[in-house]
Every structure is written in C-alpha cells, then in structure tokens.
Amino acid sequence: MTENDHTTAKGDGSLKGKTILVTGAGNGIGRAVSLEYAHQGATVILLGKTKRNLEGVYDEITDYGYPEPAILVVDLADPTGDVFKTIGAAISSEFSQLNGIVHNAAELGMLTPLENYDGALWDHVFQVNVKSPLLVTQQCLPLLKEAPYASIIFTTDESGAKPKGYWGAYGASKAAILHMARIWAIEYANTPIRVNIIDPGPCRTGLRLLTHPGMPMKRYIPPEAITPIYTKLMDGEVLAHNGELFYAQNFINPDLDDRTEKDLATSTT
C-alpha cells in the first residue's frame, strides 16, 4: 500500500482509541486490514509467526504516523495450548480491554483427493484454521468483556460454504469455522460481543497464488480494496449484526481497486 492509497482512502478516525487483534497480520489480507485499522485510529496487535513480516507492517504503520502497534510472534500451529495462554497474558499486560479480533491466519494444506490426504497434515490445517481461533478467542474473552462492545470476525471461504472437490482440510476447516462462529454468535447474543464471518473472495494474496498457480495475479482484487467491511464490523455499526456472513467483495473501495479494464476482461474466479 502506498502513501497515495491512504491519501485516497477514507480515514475518519472511526476506530480511534480501540485496540484490535489481527492474526496472520504479516502479509496479505491481515496486513491490509491492520494498516486500515491503524489508519482509522486503532491500536493494532499484530499477530503472526514470522517476526520479519510483522516488523515490516509495524514500520509501515509507524511511518504513516498512525498509533503504534504491538507485535505478538506466535506460531498458531503449536498444538500444546501453552502458546495460547501467553497470548491472553501478553495482551492483558499492555491493555485493559480489547475491542475486537480478526481471525485471519490460515493454512492451505494440500489440494488433493481425500483418499490421499495425509492425516498429520489434516490435523495441522485444523489446528491453525479451527482450533487456534477457538483458543485465541477463549483467552481474549476477559478483555473483550471489558470493552463497551466488542467484535469478533472469523474468516471463511467459498469452499467452506459450497463443497469443492480436492480442497480437503482447507474446505472442511472453513465450513467448521462458519459453523463455530455462529455458535459463538448464539451464545453471546445477549451480550455486547458481536460475532460475524467474512468471506474475502478471490484476492491478490500468496494463498491465491498457491491455489491458482500460473494465473495472472493482477486479475484478482488487491486486499486493500476489501477492507471496508472489516472496518464496518469494528465500529458501532456492528451492534446491528450477529452471526451474519458477509462477502467482502460486495463492499469494495473502488479507489483502491487498481485493476485495469484489460485485467477485468480476463478475470475469472
């Protein structure tokens, strides 16, 4: 994202004073959402497994003069559970409350027939995509409850809503996330905590490159352009929504969509 991108994008400070945790914040959609939240005045807790990537996003945020973020280097694939306890402790040591979580981190695994799927890899994908959002949310609930209202965003995918052959653990995990998020929404419906789900759609990310190798990445929308729905679900408007599925590409910021007519003419999903 360039300086001109943020000059063009709306930055009304709608998230000023809020503290928001974003997982998978080092690149792709997580990076774009973190930058936009900081642009809107939030203090962002950048969580990811690669310190160098998180430091890069940290530098971008501070270079713009936005609120200084925090960094949590955590491998969500750790199956022990101890790492998740450190997340809650680390956040509570610095902040008195948490206004939101964006569960963005994900593992693709392998695109292969189920009959060939490796059991250990299946467990790994479910650890990152399903179990880690559960455990992170549990650890952060005391801080979320301290906020006047809070928002939890889970991330699904088309392969989770509509079964697709060969998408294996990734598709199954995204279906599980959709279901789990709605359970959270039901259980917290009578509280100021709101739980919703976003399907980002096909974006210009590293994961898309893995699933569609050889495809021109310029045909896909840049992740910066789909951030409006992430902001909408973190400000006061979220109180009107709970357990809902939003398609991010219905909320595109056209000023940040850099695709040309030539790119769109050949665009397919």
Quote the pLDDT of residue 12: 76
Q: Which of 109-123, 128-142, 154-168, 216-230 has the lowest mean pLDDT?
A: 216-230
What six digits make up the tokens of 223?
């992740």
Minimum mean pLDDT range among 24-33, 51-60, 72-81, 163-172: 72-81
- When pLDDT is cut at 50, 70 and 90, the band that residue 10 belongs to is very low
| Residue 267 one-letter amino acid | S
Out of 37, 58, 170, 220, pick the active-site residue: 170
Q: Is there a catalytic annotation at residue 117?
A: no
- Secondary structure E strands in 12-147: 19-23, 43-48, 70-73, 100-103
Name the β-bridge partners of 194: 151
| Domains of the chain with bracketed CATH | 3-265 (3.40.50.720)
Indicate if the alpha-carbon torsion angle 90, 94, 99, 105 is positive or negative: negative
Residue 164 has pLDDT above 80, yes or no: yes
Contacts of 7 (CB under 8 A, 6+ apart): none
Count other C-beta atoms under 10 Å from residue 32's C-beta. 27
Query: In the predicted model, what is the mean pLDDT of residues 147-174?
Result: 95
Give the containing element (helix H, strand E) for 198. strand 193-199
pLDDT of residue 103: 98
Instruction: Dig out the tokens for 67 from the structure.
Output: 């609120």
What are the distances in angstroms from CA 218 to CA 108, 158, 265?
21, 20, 11
**Per-residue confidence band for 176, with pLDDT thresholds at 50, 70 and 90:** very high
Here the contacts of 265-268 (C-beta below 8 Å, separation 24 or greater) are 266/216, 266/219, 267/219, 267/220, 268/219
d(CA 29, CA 26): 9
Angstrom distances, CA of residue 89 to CA of 46, 56, 69, 149: 15, 24, 17, 21
Q: Give the predicted TM-score (pTM) of the model.
A: 0.91
Question: Tell me: the pLDDT tens digits for 53-87?
Answer: 999 999 999 999 999 999 999 999 987 778 898 89
Is pLDDT above 80 for 246?
yes
Q: List alpha helices for 40-131, DSSP H.
A: 51-63, 82-94, 119-126
Q: In whole angstroms, give the CA distance from residue 218 to residue 55.
A: 26
